[in-house]
């Protein structure tokens, strides 16, 4: 029984690693540029800045 709980927990945690930022039509370079811009301008509100630029944080499913 303990092994089932451990395996179930590991499987659940493994799914958490699939979240990422995405934006239709954008590539890695666009993400890096927007991210750097938000780091400089947002002063602690990076996520809100990225969302404002059209980026979405999701599992992509």
DSSP codes joined into one string, 14-44:
HHHTT-EEE-TT--HHHHHHHHHHHHHHSSS
Per-residue confidence (pLDDT) for residue 18, from 0 to 100? 72
pLDDT of residue 3 exceeding 70: yes
pTM, full prediction: 0.65
d(CA 26, CA 29): 8
Q: Express each pLDDT in 6-42 by its tens digit.
A: 666 655 555 555 778 999 999 999 999 999 999 998 7
pLDDT of residue 51 exceeding 70: yes
Domain locations in the chain as residue ranges: 18-61
């Amino acid at each position: 029984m303990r092994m089932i709980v451990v395996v179930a927990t590991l499987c659940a945690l493994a799914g958490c690693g699939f979240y990422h930022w995405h934006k239709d039509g954008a590539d890695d370079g666009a993400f890096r540029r927007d991210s750097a811009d938000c780091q400089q301008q947002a002063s602690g509100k990076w996520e809100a800045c990225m969302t404002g630029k059209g980026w979405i944080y999701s599992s992509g499913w």
